[in-house]
Amino acid sequence: MPAPHTHYFQVEAELSGAKKNYIDFTLPVWAPGSYLVREFAKNIEGFEATDKAGKVLRSEKIDKNTWRVYSNKADLVRAKYAVYAYELSVRTSFLDSSHGYVNGTSVFMYPEGYQDENGTLVVKPYQGWGKVSTGMKSTGDFTYVFPNYDILADSPLEIGNHEVYTFTTAGVPHEVAMYGEGNFNPKQLMEDMQKVTEEAVRVIGELPVERYLFIVHNLYRGGGGLEHLNSTTLQTSRWNYGTEAGYNGFLALVAHEYFHLWNVKRLRPLPLGPFDYNQENYTDLLWVSEGITSYYDDLLVRRAGFTSTQRYLDVVAGSINSVENTPGNKVQPVAESSFDAWIKYYRRSENSNNAEVSYYTKGGVLGYLLNMEVMEGTNGEKSLDDVMRYMYNRYYKQLGRGFKEEEFKEALEKISGRSMDAFFRYYVNGTKTPDYNSYFDAAGLLLINVNENSSTPSWGAATAVSDGKVLVRSVNRGSSAYEGGLNVNDEIVALNGYRVGSDIDSFVNRLNVGDTAEVVVAREGRLETLKIPILKDESVRFRFERVPNPSNLQQKIFNKWLATNNS
């Protein structure tokens, strides 16, 4: 990285001992954990290959992400290329004058047929940069060894002058590489991250790494994470630590990505390993890999003692609200959402809310229900923890392979003693709305829809003001705007005879159920008048209440689910 302000990494890849007529060097098209073909090869420039003596070898690009080197059985082939890296996300790579971040699949090519060979990575930081943090094993002088390409690709690097903090969980050293300033107290944050990670270890019962690394990017705006085998990258807003909600939100992000250490990096759906880096790897089980992990993130923060009982129940109710207020929840089963992640989840459009459901949020909600099923079926003796522990031991440790949907279902039935046929038919592979109270009654909880007797009108169009124009950005299926024919990109000119602008909300708020709103729109430059019937808002707003006089079993299940380990 000799000129980081230009955003180019200079890469040299050497392969020795192959002695073939040609060697294909390939760059992956996606990053495991982020299910979208990102076409990383678009950032490659100046590919050239030489032999041991420095003689240029003929090479050509044979497809979008493969360069063929005609090596003429040379003992050593050296490929050189530049990578433009200026997208700072957890899924991509980035380089500027302040630091470098490398996500392996977007930078490191592999020679076809040699992915299982071991290798050495040498990092040459920019002058004045003194730190490199990565999950790979160091042999000194910014030199690292990897047993195969999968590990090289799955070990991101933070390069620069970042701060490094440490803590220990379950006897294993944990490092936190902090890029960017933030309003956090390092000592307190390390103590709190330790508590959260200890709760995660308690679920499965073992920590299968010798060292773990958190790379944290504190940015002006940021959010998200990506899991790796013995590390993770997290991004957060740098001033997010200053409020209870922001701080606990960061701890939940820590919990989510850390729990992936087991769920998806080791216990994984069958299609997710070994990876095919050249194309999509389809699975209908992301609702387990991501959704059940989402179930655990806030729960681990609760168990670590950072969230009150009521606050946690509000989070659970909020997740249910989010799912049930998404029109796409009635259209797309969560298994289909998982399978179609490659073409839908990361490519949202103005209609996504009407046609899709998140396998993160819906999977998390199903996690709540499955936990209730297991606890009620075992009289409060077991929980979803026992299912995840069984799955980990069975498929990762004993069989050494991924699992299928029917095998996850069988594990649930084995632990709970109950049939899961209807659950999977209606809620995983179907779009039926669960009877939530039939599940949460096990813990003596009643889910109340505060909006049930509301007569609030449904408008259903999200708008934005641009250059004084009120433009429709999205329309919710089943709302007044949707049924009345309002379209995305319409400019709303007038409502009920009055011109509207940034004050459109005040006009909408005057509408009543049963009214007919006359809306003048400019559509492709032509004025049209729409008659929009104002319907009742059917969205839900749930909250939990305790049932009066809970039974001993209900109290037992309530305590097992919601009690902290730090109280």
Helix, strand or coil, per DSSP, at residue 511: coil
Cα–Cα distance, 231 to 454 (Å, whole number): 48
Token output for 366 = 């199903």
Cα–Cα distance, 352 to 337 (Å, whole number): 11
Shortest CA distance to 229 belongs to which of 264, 198, 201? 264
Cα torsion angle, 412, 258, 198, 252, sign: negative
Cα–Cα distance, 136 to 145 (Å, whole number): 7
Question: What is the pLDDT, as a whole number, of residue 357?
Answer: 98
pLDDT, tens digit, 9 for 90 and up, residues 30-63: 999 999 999 999 999 999 999 999 999 999 999 9
Shortest CA distance to 197 belongs to which of 176, 222, 177? 176
> pLDDT band for position 566 (50/70/90)?
low
Work out the average pLDDT over 497-523.
94
What backbone torsions phi and psi does residue 9 show, to the nearest 5 degrees? -90, 135
Cα–Cα distance, 150 to 110 (Å, whole number): 10
Give me the chain's average pLDDT, please. 97
Question: What is the pLDDT, as a whole number, of residue 287?
Answer: 98
Element (H, E) at 475: strand 469-475
Cα–Cα distance, 433 to 138 (Å, whole number): 52
Shortest CA distance to 441 belongs to which of 312, 545, 309? 545
pLDDT, tens digit, 9 for 90 and up, residues 154-213: 999 999 999 999 999 999 999 999 999 999 999 999 999 999 999 999 999 999 999 999
Sequence letter at residue 141: D
pLDDT, tens digit, 9 for 90 and up, residues 385-432: 999 999 999 999 999 999 999 999 999 999 999 999 999 999 999 999
| CB proximity list for 440: less than 8 A, separation 6 or greater | 368, 372, 446, 447, 544
| CB proximity list for 434: less than 8 A, separation 6 or greater | 369, 426, 427
Question: What is the pLDDT, as a whole number, of residue 152?
Answer: 98
Shortest CA distance to 489 belongs to which of 469, 468, 460? 469
Question: What is the pLDDT, as a whole number, of residue 56?
Answer: 97
Shortest CA distance to 296 belongs to which of 232, 208, 385? 385
| Residue keyed to tokens 């429709």 | 472
Question: What is the pLDDT, as a whole number, of residue 273?
Answer: 86
Cα–Cα distance, 101 to 89 (Å, whole number): 9
> pLDDT band for position 487 (50/70/90)?
very high
Cis before 125 (ω within 30):
no
Cα–Cα distance, 364 to 508 (Å, whole number): 34
> pLDDT band for position 563 (50/70/90)?
confident
pLDDT, tens digit, 9 for 90 and up, residues 493-506: 999 999 999 889 99
Indicate if the pLDDT at residue 567 is higher than 60. Answer: no
Work out the average pLDDT over 142-153.
98
Domains of the chain: 4-159 (2.60.40.3650), 163-259 (1.10.390.10), 286-444+542-561 (1.10.390.10), 458-536 (2.30.42.10)
Shortest CA distance to 168 belongs to which of 131, 201, 137, 134? 201
